[in-house]
A and B are shown apart, each in its own frame.
Chain A
Amino acid sequence: MEHLDAVYRLALQLARHPDDASDLVQETYLKALRVAERFEERGGGIRPWLFKILHNVFYSRLARDKRAPLSVDELHGASSDQPGPDEPAPAWDLSTLNWEHVDERIKTAIDGLRSEYRTVLLLWAVEGLKYREIAEVQEIPIGTVMSRLHRARSTLADQLAEFAEEFGHGTG
């Protein structure tokens, strides 16, 4: 199962819990097996197709429970279908950031993002998918992919700016 790691990674970002993620992955492979004849090679191999099935399985489960109200903890952040606006250059010197110590801050910032932002980041940064492929996996417009990626990266950049300020990196 050469794609198991990647599929599990995405499942974990969606479900946030290892047991739920394992269930999701199993259901994804079973579903893939049942609909294998529908797979069409579009140049990206089987991995994006498995991601798409996983995504559908996850949101189908959510839809089953969609009448259950969400906690207000899930209410932060906003989404838009518009690509992110251009933004001015940051006021701090990016080139002097000490990248050796940023991982923990990046991890905290990613954990604070909503799942739709986390999954776009994962598909982009780890799996190396193009915007179009991410849009197909998530069944959203490409503009929404760009918007989510823009917001997620801006959030991370803000966190790194704070980090640089706190530790005196990159304030020049």
Chain B
Amino acid sequence: MSNAPTAREIRLFCDGELPPQEAAAVEAKLREHAEPRARAEFERRLRERVGAVLKAGSAPPAGLADRIREAMTSEEAWASRDPQAGIIGTIEPPSAEPAPHRAWWRGPTRANAYAVAASVVLVAGAVLFGIFGRPIDSWPGRGTIDVAAEAAAAVASEHVMTANSPAGPTHSARYRTRDQAASGLAEYLGAAGRVYDLSDLGYAFLGGDTCDVPRCERGCHLIYRRTGDRPGLVTLHVLPRPEQFELHGSPGLKAFPILTDKITRNQDCPKDVLVWSHGEHCYMLVVSVAQDAEKIALRMQQTLLAGTPE
């Protein structure tokens, strides 16, 4: 069976993605081997059924085409377009209706005068506001979502840097044991903090340290690592003043997508920063192995809610 095509070759062949020479070679192999041939047939039927399922029940609503045509006719650009070009060729132009009426203020000669007048008003307004308006320090702070998102972005970045640190994730960690970390958190954050035991999930506690997170007076982070076949890194940031992270909706678990393509070394890429608050702290969790993230977060939340000691 060593000559048989691989599953990947079969899929590429079935998808028509192989160059002609390779396709011919795979086709020849398929003639010789029954099992890969059955697999190729399976791939073909699967594509056919997926196509049928996705096509069924997805016809556009009856009035949609008319609605779009109507919107297009109201586009000022319509009248000046060449009906033979590009997209227009695929869309029926409106029937003999008059060209859309041009708004009075869009007249070519008036437009410049109005633009100049508007600019003068804007500049004058800005100057007056600068003189008589409120000082910027007295403005209300940004929304809590913005603050939480900014902190989450910093936490995600911290996670990636920790994972990729050439000197190891905890080379300068202040707390080396869970006991040290627990008392360190309590001392630094001014209230008892929890240092979780994730050993049953395969994650060993590596250490913890204090850190700076934007718009937080102070913060601490804890680092866990799993080695072996499925290595993973967990960072948990514990931040004070949860009121500024209070998120809209339920007080439960929230996820901020990590908008980065940085892949942590030898690990999966974390997908979200999971955020929740409890008592006097806000918790921001990043887990390299995405499948473990929710499990670990819910476990930590439940521990907090139950008030059970770790």
Contact = CB atoms under 8 A, between A and B. Distances in A.
Interface of A: 1-5, 8-9, 12-13, 18, 22, 25-26, 29-30, 32-34, 36-37, 39, 46, 50, 66-72, 74-81, 83-84, 86-90, 93-95, 97, 99, 102-103, 106-107, 110, 121-122, 124-126, 130-131, 150, 153, 156-157, 160
Interface residues of B, number: 72
Contacts of B151: none
Interface of B: 6-8, 11, 15-17, 35-36, 38-39, 41-43, 45-56, 58-61, 64-65, 67-68, 71-72, 75, 77-78, 81, 85-92, 145-146, 148-149, 247, 252-257, 259, 263, 268-269, 271-272, 274-275, 290-291, 293-294, 297
23 contacts: A1-B90, A5-B59, A9-B55, A22-B60, A30-B72, A32-B86, A39-B87, A69-B148, A72-B253, A72-B254, A72-B294, A74-B255, A78-B268, A80-B269, A86-B7, A93-B38, A94-B39, A94-B42, A106-B53, A107-B53, A121-B54, A130-B16, A150-B11
Q: Provide the main secondary structure of the chain A interface.
A: helix
A36 B83 CA distance: 11
B11 A94 contact: no
Given A34-B75, A95-B38, A22 B67 contact: yes
Contacts, number: 178
Contacts of A90: 39
A66 B47 CA distance: 33
A53 to B, nearest CB: 9
Contact of A126 (B54, B60, B85): B54
